[in-house]
Amino acid sequence: MADDTIDLFVGLIETIDTPGAVDAYRQFLSANERARADRFMFERHRRQYIFAHAMLRLALSHVAPNVAPSDWSFDTGRYGRPFVASPATALHFSLSHADGCVACVVSRHEAVGIDVETVSRRVAPLSTALRFFAPEEVETLRGLPEPDATQRFFDYWTLKEAYLKARGFGLNLPLDGFAMQVSQKAIEISFKPDIADDPDGWRFSLSSPSPSHRLAIADGSRTAGGLPISRHAWPLQDAAE
């Protein structure tokens, strides 16, 4: 891993969930993580949690191969953002999962975030946007026909969530406090006057891991042109060995 890189790991559950995979990945989790997995009411949620948190551990160890996947421990910051508690490392991460997909990014820059959403679920773009989004985003959605409005809605949603994760504020920063502008040329962000942030310091990317998923990455490293993203095939060859 180069110092100025975002390492991206994305896995579709259908390609991960092979016979014996859950038990193999479960072995990488801490006792607390295994206990939390066991508390899920639905089996699909339990399996998704196991795959996502095992992916994070394996991804960190892929970037820092001197640390075994089971040796990472985590804590949370003031607003609930998880971080590596031990061993001491310069690595930062962001983790996301939706029905059928798990994803994470690892970087030496703290201000990185990722979000993945299932775009096949039913949603009312305009009514949801009216509740949560900035006025500029609502007006853009009003002017789009279906299914373009639904696609742009998920662009906005994933980009906003990725930004919030990168800032580490969670929902303590309202979704209507900043607006995304998406075009073929660029993805940009703007802020209300009361939000102290520099829009020029952010770079964003959008992709579709599958026809059913939309994924966004927020890069607040302030690196000129943004950090290059290195995508790794998942599962890693040695992930479940």
| Per-residue pLDDT, 240 | 43
> Right CATH number for 6-232 from 1.10.3720.10, 3.90.470.20, 3.40.1160.10, 3.20.20.70?
3.90.470.20
Question: What does the alpha-carbon distance between residue 203 and residue 14 come to, in Å, rounded to a whole number?
Answer: 31
Give me the pLDDT at residue 122, please. 75
- Per-run averaged pLDDT (10 residues), the chain, 241 residues: 84 94 96 97 95 97 96 93 95 96 97 95 85 96 92 96 92 90 95 93 97 97 94 73 41
Is beta strand 229-232 parallel, antiparallel or unpaired with respect to 6-12? Answer: parallel
* Structural domain spans, the chain: 6-232
Name the amino acid, one letter, at 151: Q
